[in-house]
Amino acid sequence: MAPLNNPRAYHGLAVLDENIYVVGGVDSANRLLSCLERYDKETDEWTKLSGELYSPRMAMGFCSHKRQLWVAGGIVQIGRRTCSTAYVEVYDPKTERWSFAVNFLPSPRSCLTLVECGDDLYAVGGLLSHRSGKRRIFTTVEDTLVFVDERNTWVNRAPMPNARHSTVAVAHDDMILIIGGRQAERPDFHFDNILAYDTKMNKWYLLANLPRSVVDYHCVLAPPEESSESLREVLTSRGDHRSTNKLVEKFRVAAPDVKSYSQGDIAIVRQYK
């Protein structure tokens, strides 16, 4: 895969209409980025698009939703200082423009996870910050928010069993899987378990541990070779732990072949049988 035009870290990555998009982040000179790039798999090329974020940012939530790209929260720069933001920007690939048509998050936060499940958009977890004198205090939250289009607002749902930020997420059926993450209160601790959120029942399940803890990864859902019952049916009919073993077995056979991000390379995770 071709390298990005701009090396970056703490950026957003999403797939829309079979194209990969990368937005924002911070470059090697510690400058926040607003540029948007799109990958064409047919030509193996990254194109730098004309539409840029209104607010350069890093460590934000980013995903595709209703054929648009959504950016929520993150870290922005005001003058010489950086701070968390609650702003939400939406990109329309038809007009190649960003807009602020969507209501803000309930509070400024970074390192949150945005994920589309069904027709709904969810914002999970995140990192809050505030100043106490000359010190900046960080707090990880367990929030689960869903965006209600009719009211143009974010609504609280059942919180995660434990607060975490910098997670990865995938949606499957009516379930959201939250993988890994960390907590500000324990800087050296990384979660090694999987959470499953049932969007219909508004209930969280705590699944078994991964072979190792993960943080700051990207994750995709690979379709099964054979049809099987849905994850939601497994969880509700058999209990948490029987399905957990199946999930963990899948992770054990995943062998990462990860390249360095320092020069704008792309990390690829391949699954071997």
CATH topology of domain 12-271: Neuraminidase (2.120.10)
Residues 6+ away with beta carbon under 8 Å from 148:
154, 155
- Residue 162 CA to residue 36 CA, distance in Å, equals 33
Question: Two tokens at 142?
Answer: 């367990």
How many angstroms separate the Cα of 242 from the Cα of each of 28, 100, 207? Answer: 45, 44, 10
Distances (CA, A) of 119 to 65, 66, 110, 146, 171: 8, 7, 24, 11, 11
The residues, any chain, with a CB within 8 Å of residue 199's CB and separated by 6 or more, are 117, 118, 120, 122, 146, 174, 175, 176
- Is residue 14 over pLDDT 90? yes
Q: Which residue has the higher pLDDT, 238 or 219?
A: 219
Contact 61, 11 (CB under 8 A): no
Q: Can you tell me the mean pLDDT for 134-157? A: 94
pLDDT tens for residues 158-206?
999 999 999 989 898 899 999 889 999 998 888 888 899 999 999 999 8
pLDDT greater at residue 73 or residue 232: 73
Label residue 259 by pLDDT band (50, 70, 90): very low
Q: Return d(Cα 78, Cα 56) in angstroms, integer.
A: 10
Confidence of residue 254 (pLDDT cuts 50, 70, 90): very low
- Give me the mean pLDDT over the 243-263 stretch: 38
pLDDT interval class at 131 (50, 70, 90):
confident
